[in-house]
């Protein structure tokens, strides 16, 4: 991934580089150590000519998987969950309006009259646009969850041997929205929306798996895993899937390049969209699942270590489980890990408060 400098001209009368053009060109803007950096898409012209352009995400496109709709089971569904909408500032409503109109036009949202209601929030992004966040915590509490079959990242990465020298990382964009939601389950995901221009109040609901829903990663991950059963990798190449993040690792640059192009075209044919801005294409070092992979070696992201070290001592069993989950992610780099965390597992089996 090539990195360049970004010149910010706040007094300019118009955008020198608009959001649509940034997405089209596969440019990713990041703030690194208080400095704005832009990451340029590493695709060569000859590579891009071999890839179906329909695979790239744009604001005007959405992914669609041809799979049976998912249904959701809510405990005590005869008692609807109703949470009053939080106040939203005029700026927030105006920011959300184009996004909600886009989601409606693409069929991801639809009008409804539902007994359920949970609130939404406007989240301002770095580029000035707004992201719609649906607070589904109360729905999540009452959801009858399937048994999670999402693989452990440690187990997945253990499949990579030292012979793997080149990598590609493919980030599926808005992957959950590619999964249809059964019509009988849609009312559970309703929210109230007031148009800031017309002041019309109405309820809207999702027609696809919502982001923020506790079951979405598990359901999408299983659906994608089943789809990938149709895909056969070439000799000397490994494909790893973790929910909506895909890694291709191989022995040679040519093998990884050919496999990456073939996989992108396969994903396009299945109706999925890929973020060009986040694509890591045929590189000797990539970041995947909080790890840096380079020439057959793995190194944990220093930011992840910093985050774990900043966690205060756990005071409840829930906090112990959370800590064990985070440390288990790093167990490959902790000598005698099982011995060192044994006392924490013993605390979980004891009654009373954690001391």
Whether 259 shows a pLDDT value over 60: the answer reads yes
Do 111 and 204 lie in one domain? The reply is: yes
With respect to residue 170, please indicate whether it lies within any of the assigned structural domains.
no
Task: Give pLDDT, residue 155.
Answer: 84
Do 31 and 123 lie in one domain? The reply is: no
98 by DSSP, 3-state: which?
Answer: helix
* Strand order through the sheet with 35-40: 2-5, 35-40, 28-32
Confidence of residue 196 (pLDDT cuts 50, 70, 90): very high
CA distance 222 to 213: 15
Whether 34 shows a pLDDT value over 60: the answer reads no
With respect to residue 115, please indicate whether it lies within any of the assigned structural domains.
yes
The distance between the two most distant Cα atoms of the chain, rounded to a whole number of Å, is 65
With respect to residue 116, please indicate whether it lies within any of the assigned structural domains.
yes
* Strand order through the sheet with 237-242: 237-242, 245-250, 166-171, 280-283
Which residue in this structure is represented by tokens 């009008």? 111
Do 99 and 33 lie in one domain? The reply is: no
Which residue in this structure is represented by tokens 């044994």? 342
In 10 A of CB 292, how many CB atoms? Answer: 14
Mean pLDDT, rounded, of the chain: 88
Tell which of 159, 185, 213 closes a domain: 213
CA distance 355 to 313: 10
Do 1 and 109 lie in one domain? The reply is: no
CB burial readout 71-103, b (16+ within 10 A) else e: ebebeebeeebebebeebeeebbebbbebbeeb
In this structure, of 101-115, 128-142, 191-205, 304-318, the range with the lowest mean pLDDT score is 304-318
Do 94 and 31 lie in one domain? The reply is: no
pTM of the model: 0.81
With respect to residue 327, please indicate whether it lies within any of the assigned structural domains.
yes
Do 208 and 322 lie in one domain? The reply is: no
Do 95 and 202 lie in one domain? The reply is: yes
Confidence of residue 325 (pLDDT cuts 50, 70, 90): confident
CA distance 245 to 173: 9
Task: Give pLDDT, residue 275.
Answer: 95
Do 3 and 95 lie in one domain? The reply is: no
Q: Find the domain containing 207 and state its range.
A: 90-145+177-213
Tell me how long the chain is: 355
Q: What is the mean pLDDT of residues 10-25?
A: 52
CA distance 71 to 185: 6
């Amino acid at each position: 991934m090539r990195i360049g400098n970004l010149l910010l001209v706040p007094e300019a009368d118009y955008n020198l580089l608009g959001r649509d053009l940034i997405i089209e060109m596969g440019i990713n803007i990041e703030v690194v150590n208080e400095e704005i950096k832009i990451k340029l898409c590493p695709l060569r012209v000859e590579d891009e000519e071999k890839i179906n352009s329909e695979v790239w995400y744009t604001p005007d496109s959405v992914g669609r998987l041809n799979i049976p709709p998912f249904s959701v089971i809510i405990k005590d569904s005869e008692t609807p969950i109703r949470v009053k909408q939080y106040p939203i500032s005029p700026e927030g409503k105006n920011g959300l309006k184009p996004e909600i109109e886009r989601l409606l036009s693409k069929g991801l949202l639809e009008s409804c009259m539902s007994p359920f209601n949970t609130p939404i929030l406007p989240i301002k992004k770095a580029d000035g646009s707004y992201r719609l966040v649906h607070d589904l915590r109360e729905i999540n509490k009452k959801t009858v969850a399937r048994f999670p079959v999402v693989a452990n990242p440690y187990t997945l990465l253990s499949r990579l041997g030292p012979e793997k020298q080149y990598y590609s990382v493919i980030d599926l964009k808005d992957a959950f929205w590619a999964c249809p939601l059964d019509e009988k389950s849609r009312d559970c995901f309703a929210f109230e929306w007031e148009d800031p221009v017309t002041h019309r109040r109405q309820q809207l609901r999702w027609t696809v798996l919502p982001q923020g829903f506790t079951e979405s990663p598990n359901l999408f991950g299983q659906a994608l895993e089943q789809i990938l059963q149709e895909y056969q990798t070439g000799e000397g190449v490994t494909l790893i899937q973790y929910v909506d993040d895909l890694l291709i690792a191989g022995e040679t640059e040519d093998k990884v390049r050919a496999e990456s192009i073939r996989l992108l075209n396969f994903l396009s044919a299945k109706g999925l969209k890929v973020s060009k801005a986040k694509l890591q294409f045929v590189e000797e070092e990539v970041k995947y699942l909080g790890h840096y992979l380079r020439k057959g070696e793995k190194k944990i992201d220093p930011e992840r270590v910093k985050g774990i070290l900043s966690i205060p001592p756990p005071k409840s069993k829930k906090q112990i489980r959370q800590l064990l989950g985070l440390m288990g992610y790093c167990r490959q780099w902790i000598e005698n890990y099982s011995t060192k965390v044994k006392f924490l597992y013993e605390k979980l089996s004891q009654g009373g408060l954690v001391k």
